[in-house]
Amino acid sequence: MSGDSILFSGPWAGLPVAWTDDDRFDESTYRGDVKRCCLAGIPGVYTGGTTGEFYAMELDEFREVARATIEECHAHNTPAMIGCSATYTLGAVRRARIARELGADAIQIALPYWMEVPDTEIVPFFESVAIAANDLPLSIYETTRSKRTLTLDQHRAIKDAVPSYEMVKANVGTIGATPEGCAALSELVSVFVGEARWAELGRVGAAGSCSAMVYWNPKFILDLWSHVENQNWTEVDAVHVRIVSLHKFLFQQFGYREFTDTAYDRLGGIALGILQTSLRSRGPYPSVTTEDVKTLRAWCQAHFPEMIPIDDPNR
């Protein structure tokens, strides 16, 4: 599939990596998760973001995970995007080259995050990564974890210098996560935001999501995205209330445990959805437990049964 044009639209699955009990890459389990996402009709799959624990992975592991993702996606005619973020330019360049050589359809990259990148180095950084990726479609993972956020003018400068810049994953605290910023950025690139923001930002141009909830319940979230595309805002607003309630429960129930993104996404993907990944997060970050899985599932059965797949015998 590599080389075909891709469309950054809808909820792309941002997958966690399966680890064995001795903390090695569990390739067969991970490939199964990728396959299930493809067969569910999810429009794209990616890993190497926060959920994919790029920050806790050696370069040889990155290569193994990227290869498995790309091969499994292409076997099922689904585009694969690989996150190539690192703490320095050469690290990101190396990962981008590997992703390109393995046949990725797109890459995703955040600004280096250990030290703040100065203004003069922002555009050159993205240019270097784009060159290494041979101008594969590029997504910017914009997050306050990078210690700085981009202005609209900086997004425009990156787009001018890197025509392959096609999508931004806009998180809370960045310009694309505001109505005005999302509308303006949407004139340059596709803007992806969390599902809980679709009700607000879908109205002003948001194009999709780097999603976890899409593998919590593919049909439910894909149907919700269809309502966004068709501007059925009454339906979208009704579901939005339920999603906000779910997020509030997760924070109240588990916030004190200081779970990272990958822990929450594993939890939902196993408790409600189609993942068979490990509950393990790489240390020193906390992992969820089987009891947590039972707790989330029980809450959804009582308060949000639509999130449990309709073909689940225990719904």
| Tens digits of residue pLDDT in 108-125 | 999 999 999 999 999 999
Average pLDDT over all residues of the chain:
95
SS (H, E, C) the chain: CCCCCCCCCEEEEECCCCECCCCCECHHHHHHHHHHHHHCCCCCEEECCCCCCHHHCCHHHHHHHHHHHHHHHHHCCCCEEEECCCCCHHHHHHHHHHHHHHCCCEEEECCCCCCCCCHHHHHHHHHHHHHHCCCCCEEEEECHHHCCCCCHHHHHHHHHHCCCEEEEEECCCCHHHCHHHHHHHCCCCEEECCHHHHHHHHHHCCCEEEECHHHHCHHHHHHHHHHHHCCCHHHHHHHHHHHHHHHHHHHHHHHHHCCCHHHHHHHHHHHCCCCCCCCCCCCCCCCCCHHHHHHHHHHHHHHCHHHCCCCCCCC
pLDDT interval class at 313 (50, 70, 90): very low
pLDDT interval class at 312 (50, 70, 90): low
Contacts of 103 (CB under 8 A, 6+ apart): 1, 2, 70, 74, 80
Residue 233 has pLDDT above 60, yes or no: yes
Residue 272 has pLDDT above 80, yes or no: yes
Tokens 């690139």 label which residue? Answer: 189
pLDDT interval class at 3 (50, 70, 90): very low
Residue 249 has pLDDT above 80, yes or no: yes
Tokens coding 233: 């805002």
pLDDT interval class at 311 (50, 70, 90): low
> Closest Cα to residue 174, out of 211, 212, 141, 126?
141
Residue 315 has pLDDT above 70, yes or no: no
CA 291-69-246 angle, to 5 degrees, is: 35
> Closest Cα to residue 139, out of 124, 149, 129?
129
Residue 23 has pLDDT above 70, yes or no: yes
Q: Tell me which of 2 and 266 has the higher pLDDT.
A: 266
In this prediction, what percent of the chain has a pLDDT beyond 90? 95
Q: What is the mean pLDDT of residues 214-221?
A: 96
CA distances (Å), 224 to each of 171, 190, 207, 216, 221, in order? 20, 18, 13, 13, 5
pLDDT number for residue 218 = 96
Q: What is the mean pLDDT of residues 278-302?
A: 96
pLDDT number for residue 2 = 45
Contact (CB, 8 A) for 288 and 279? yes
pLDDT number for residue 309 = 75
What domains lie within the chain, and their CATH numbers? Answer: 10-231 (3.20.20.70)
CA distance 270 to 54: 21
Q: What is the mean pLDDT of residues 176-182?
A: 97
pLDDT number for residue 5 = 55
CA distance 190 to 169: 9
Q: What is the mean pLDDT of residues 234-262?
A: 96
Q: What is the mean pLDDT of residues 29-58?
A: 97
Q: Is the pTM of this model over 0.75?
A: yes
CA distances (Å), 244 to each of 2, 147, 211, 240, 250, in order? 37, 27, 15, 6, 10
Bridge-partner residues for 109, per DSSP?
A: 140
CA distance 235 to 70: 35
CA distance 315 to 313: 6
